[in-house]
Structure formats: structure tokens, C-alpha cells
């Protein structure tokens, strides 16, 4: 969108800070108060299987609240500003990697019907617009499981086994793929997605999220 169109749009639909909900000026990534809380360094950790993951924020305070509003309270419009922050982390952590495709952790169709949108896909598509790296759905969740946050350590590992399948294997093979999710906690979900992509022949696989709970 042009700067002019953005200004006109903002007059009718003001932009909000995704971390506190206050109105922000056009093009600002956050309000001044929240901007001051941005950490200076990005987070780097690994999903299960040793796949690298980067995130601009830890899963605490205003950043955790932002993800919850985006995911559970219908604030899908936060996708753009959150994707800009993922891009900041990706540009730094993976500056030497050239990705062929961006994809996301998929949701089961029943879950999608309930929420109305896949927050990780919204992030992936916005990141694609920012970076010009094409977005593709490369995974499908074909089995329903329990939400990971309701389970304990070992249960989380077993809960994600075999719930994903590869889609479009012809474009996975031999390519570098960036997998997007909203948050990484134990790394089991992203690890399982990476395992499936690896099995389908992906070359380099990395992950990025808005918040990271595990630091290694």
C-alpha cells in the first residue's frame, strides 16, 4: 500500500499497538512506551531435532499478551506488525541463508473452523510480503490432537507424533524452507513439522516465531 493510501486508511481505521492496544501513528511498529521494552537482542534456540529457531521476543509481559490477543482474541490485524518483528530476527539470525519458501505450522480443519484463522499462516503470508520470499502451504495437519499447552513434557512429544503430513512434495525437495509459528515453547510442534519436511527432501530448514519460551 502506498504511503498516501495508508494515511487515508488510518483516518478511518486507526492502527493499534499490538502490545497494548493503544492507537499508534501510521507505520509505527509499536507505541513509544512498548517500543522502549523491545529487547536489544533477538532470541535463538532450537526446535526438537536441532532445527534452529529465532524470535524477536521472549514469551513474557507485553509480548506474551500480544500473541494471546492475536491468537485467541481475534486481533488478526496484528499480523503485519508482528511479522515485521519476525523479519528483524530472521534477517539477523539467518543472514547467510537464502530461503526458497516460507510455510507455517498448519491447523486441523476443525480447529480452523473454530478459530476462523490460522495465526501462523497470517504471519507467514505477511512475512512473505515483506521479504518477497514466496509463501506455500507445505504441511497439513491430518489428525486432531490436544492443545500442547494442556500437556506435560513427555505427553507433548507424543501428542504431535504423526499428526502432520507433507503437501506439495515436489516443491519441498531440495529447497530451503522457513517455518513460521506464533510461539516456540518445548519445540516439539516445530520439531515435528521440520522432521516431516526433512523426510520430504527439504534441504535447509529453519524456524521463526514471535515469542520464544525456551532459551538454549
Residue ranges in contact with Zn ion by CB under 5 A = 17, 19-20, 31, 34
Shortest distance, CB of residue 83 to Zn ion, whole angstroms? 17
* Of residues 17 and 93, the one with the C-beta less far from Zn ion: 17
Nearer to Zn ion, 34 or 202 (CB): 34
Nearer to Zn ion, 31 or 83 (CB): 31
Q: How far is the CB of 86 from Zn ion (least distance, A)?
A: 18
* Shortest Å, Cβ 59 to Zn ion: 17
CB-wise, 67 or 184, nearer to Zn ion? 67
Give the total residue count for the chain: 216
Minimal distance in Å, beta carbon 67 to Zn ion? 14
Amino acid at each position: 500500500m502506498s504511503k498516501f493510501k495508508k494515511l487515508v486508511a488510518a483516518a478511518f481505521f486507526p492502527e493499534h499497538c499490538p502490545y497494548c492496544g493503544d492507537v499508534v501513528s501510521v507505520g509505527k511498529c509499536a507505541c513509544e512506551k512498548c517500543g522502549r521494552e523491545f529487547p536489544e537482542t533477538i532470541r535463538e534456540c532450537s526446535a526438537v531435532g536441532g532445527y534452529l529457531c529465532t524470535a524477536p521476543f521472549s514469551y513474557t509481559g507485553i509480548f506474551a499478551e500480544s500473541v494471546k490477543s492475536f491468537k485467541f482474541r481475534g486481533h488478526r490485524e496484528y499480523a503485519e506488525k508482528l511479522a515485521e518483528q519476525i523479519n528483524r530476527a530472521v534477517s539477523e539470525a539467518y543472514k547467510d541463508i537464502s530461503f526458497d519458501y516460507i510455510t507455517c505450522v498448519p491447523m486441523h480443519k476443525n480447529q480452523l473452523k473454530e478459530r476462523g484463522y490460522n495465526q501462523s499462516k497470517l504471519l507467514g503470508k505477511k512475512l512473505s510480503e515483506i521479504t518477497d520470499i514466496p509463501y506455500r502451504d507445505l504441511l497439513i495437519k491430518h489428525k486432531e490432537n490436544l492443545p500442547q499447552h494442556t500437556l506435560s513434557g513427555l505427553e507433548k512429544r507424543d501428542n504431535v507424533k504423526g499428526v502432520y503430513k507433507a503437501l506439495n512434495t515436489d516443491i519441498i525437495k531440495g529447497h530451503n524452507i522457513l517455518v513460521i509459528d506464533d510461539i516456540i515453547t518445548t519445540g516439539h510442534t516445530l520439531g515435528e513439522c521440520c522432521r516431516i519436511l526433512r523426510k520430504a527432501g527439504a534441504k535447509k530448514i529453519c524456524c521463526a516465531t514471535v515469542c520464544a519460551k525456551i532459551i538454549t
